[in-house]
Amino acid sequence: MAAQWYWQSDLRSDKDDGDLWTAYAAGDNKAIETAYGLKRKTLKIMGGKYTIDFKKMIQHVTEDDYHRRFIKRVVPDDDDDDDGAPPAKKAKKEGKADVVKKTFDGFVFARAGTFSNNAKISTIISNHGGETSSTVTKTATHLIVSVDDDTDRGFETLDKTIKAKKLGIKIVKLVWDFPKDEKKADKDLQDAVKKGKVMKP
């Protein structure tokens, strides 16, 4: 049997839970599997609305990569390619290597205010297994705010901050001029997340 691809349809629980994944339709699944076999880096599906990133194993909205979901590839146990395959190889083929526990697993980050490099923040979050969202909803676990907004405008007056407080979402403060150095930027974000606090409405 051919491999089946899935996208994570529920962000609120452990990614190993099979009930949280939705299978791609046959046509999209075939296109994804073909592109994967050709070792393509990305693939647009559903009329270009979504983009598959095979390196990061995510699906994101093509026009807004802030909206991301994990994807995985599962090869049935009775697939001919799996005959006699060692457990480690099977685990890798089934996509289990893509759901290894990471620092931000289960975290969904919304953002309020402005930053000098939004793309870098999104990339770091994704690299550590987190998700990003442009809106504050019940599925969000953290809200990233700019310290400049805190100082200059009062981040507590921002609509997203007010909503986050009501939902009990942790507030993460970052400086507007996010570090250009990758390692420092990575460390600063992780430290800020650890210090995140739930503020009362």
Residue with tokens 């099979």: 18
Residues 6+ apart with CB under 8 A from 184: none
Look up the CATH number of domain 4-99: 3.30.720.50
CA dihedral 47, 70, 178, 142 (to 10 degrees): 110
The percentage of the chain sitting over the pLDDT mark of 70, rounded to a whole number, equals 73
Percentages helix, strand, coil for the chain (3-state, rounded to 5) are 35, 25, 40
Q: Which residue has the higher pLDDT, 170 or 17?
A: 170
Instruction: Provide CATH 3.30.720.50 ranges for the chain.
Output: 4-99
pTM score of the predicted model? 0.49
Beta pairing class for 197-198 and 21-23 = unpaired
Instruction: Provide CATH 3.40.50.10190 ranges for the chain.
Output: 108-198
Cα separations (Å) of 172 from 69, 132, 187?
A: 22, 13, 14
pLDDT surpassing 70 at residue 149: no
Can you tell me the mean pLDDT for 166-181? 79
- Of 178, 170, 180, 173, nearest in space to 149 by CA: 173
User: What is the CATH topology of the domain spanning 108-198?
Assistant: Rossmann fold (3.40.50)
Q: Which residue has the higher pLDDT, 146 or 83?
A: 146
